Amino acid sequence: MNRLRPDHDDVRFIRRVVIVIVILAVAWAFYLAGDLLILAFGSMLGAVAIHAIAEFCVEKLRVPPRIAVGIGMATGLAALAFLVWLFTVQFGEQISTLVTELPRILDTWRADLSQSPVGAAMVHSVEAALAGSRISQEVSGFALGSVELVLNFIVLIAGSLFFAANPRVYERGFLLLIPRSKRPAVADALDDLGHTLRLWLRAQLILMTSMGVLVGVGLYIAGVPSSAALGLLAGISEFIPYVGPTAAMLPALGLAATRGGGQLAGALATYAVVRLIQSNFITPYIQNRLIDIPPAITLFAILSIGYIFGLFGLFFSAAILVTAFTLIRSLYLREVLGEPIERPGGADEEAAADSDRLRGN
């Protein structure tokens, strides 16, 4: 007798409930492991950068693929070592001065704004907004978490090298999770994503370099102290559109204000002219071949990613947005809705063949 045995409809309902519970549990696990996911994404982005260098060596220098990947790894490590040298040796004293002056500058601004009712309300609103944000908590514990930051940085470098050494293994493993009939579409989307990220990284490198050089030279002409360190900070901040350059501008303006109105005006003019050049000449030319994401979507997406994933998420927010936008175009608009979405420029059979050679096939 099976009087308590559920019928067919009950079994289907129970199975669907279990599936929903499993999906929610996986989503919650991903949320709790957000920092690890960001590190994994950053490692994959580093591997894309390494393979971009390797493809350049294969196409322009006729270097064998495996040797080209090694050159890409060595170049990436050398670039990181160069940045560490700039921060610690070349501009170490300037950066130390900047870090020492920053709290005093913020206190001065807070005191000046609090003198008026409107300014006091603004200060209170900003402090209340930042008090519960994840980024504020991470920045406040930055000194205490310096060891964790270094360990995350080491994991990021190691992950980039591992992904770059044999990316085909990870790609093949991911595609095995996709139903066989859907794999070609997903594989094409991954190729689109890799090509778009390589173009985006090249564009970001050019934009970061131009921003750093222009800001550094302009602040030096204006007589602002620590102009080289501020230029380096401005260049790195360009990796986070809108939010980064704005945040990097504030220390420069505060430091200039402590030296007098002339230097403050010079700093303001520098950032205004550089932003004008970047927005109207350099950025449109560089991003001509990239996906054009509307500025409002970019701004709020970056803020949302930073709010959810914290400081690491904010740093990689632009790359995450480019990834999401590319996959939506390739998988949903082109493959599901059938929209005539073109492949990214240059993502043709020759580029795919180069990618296969670098992957070891």
* Cα–Cα distance, 135 to 306 (Å, whole number): 7
Average pLDDT estimate for 60-84: 90
1, part of any domain: no
Question: For residue 346, is it left (φ>0), alpha (ψ between -120 and 50) or beta?
Answer: left
Q: Are 153 and 37 in contact (CB under 8 A)?
A: no
Q: Which helix (H) or strand (E) holds 166?
A: none
99, part of any domain: yes
- Tell me: pLDDT of 359 over 50: no
197, part of any domain: yes
Residue in 190, 134, 210 with CA at minimum distance from that of residue 323 = 190
Provide the number of structural domains found in the chain: 1
State the Cα angle at 350 between 344 and 351, rounded to 5°: 45
Instruction: Please give the residue range of the domain that contains residue 66.
Output: 39-359
Cα-Cα-Cα-Cα dihedral sign, residues 149, 153, 159, 162? negative
Q: Which helix (H) or strand (E) holds 62?
A: none
State the Cα angle at 227 between 153 and 103, rounded to 5°: 65
Average pLDDT estimate for 243-254: 81
- What pLDDT, on a 0 to 100 scale, did the predictor assign at position 350? 45
* Cα–Cα distance, 321 to 331 (Å, whole number): 15
Q: How confident is the model at residue 358 (pLDDT cuts 50, 70, 90)?
A: very low
13, part of any domain: no
Q: Is 139 exposed, middle or buried (0-12, 13-18, 19+ CB in 10 A)?
A: middle
| Phi/psi of residue 128, nearest 5 degrees | -65, -40
Question: What's the pLDDT tens digit per position in 280-313?
Answer: 888 777 766 666 677 788 888 888 888 777 777 8
Beta-carbon neighbour count of residue 112 at 10 Å? 12
Q: How confident is the model at residue 255 (pLDDT cuts 50, 70, 90)?
A: confident
Residue in 257, 246, 214, 240 with CA at minimum distance from that of residue 102 = 257
Task: Name which residue leads in pLDDT, 327 or 146.
Answer: 327
| Phi/psi of residue 258, nearest 5 degrees | -75, -15
Tokens 């005539």 belong to 340
Task: Name which residue leads in pLDDT, 348 or 328.
Answer: 328
* Cα–Cα distance, 85 to 154 (Å, whole number): 17
- Tell me: pLDDT of 27 over 70: yes
* Cα–Cα distance, 163 to 45 (Å, whole number): 9
The lowest-confidence range among 57-71, 249-263, 281-295, 328-342 is 281-295
Query: In the chain, pLDDT over 70 holds for what percent of residues?
Result: 80
170, part of any domain: yes
Average pLDDT, the chain: 80
- Tell me: pLDDT of 277 over 50: yes
- What pLDDT, on a 0 to 100 scale, did the predictor assign at position 45? 92
Query: In the chain, pLDDT over 90 holds for what percent of residues?
Result: 22
27, part of any domain: no
22, part of any domain: no
Q: How confident is the model at residue 2 (pLDDT cuts 50, 70, 90)?
A: low
Whole-prediction pTM: 0.76
32, part of any domain: no
* 215, HSE (Cβ side, Cα atoms, 13 Å): 32
Residue in 202, 172, 229 with CA at minimum distance from that of residue 289 = 202
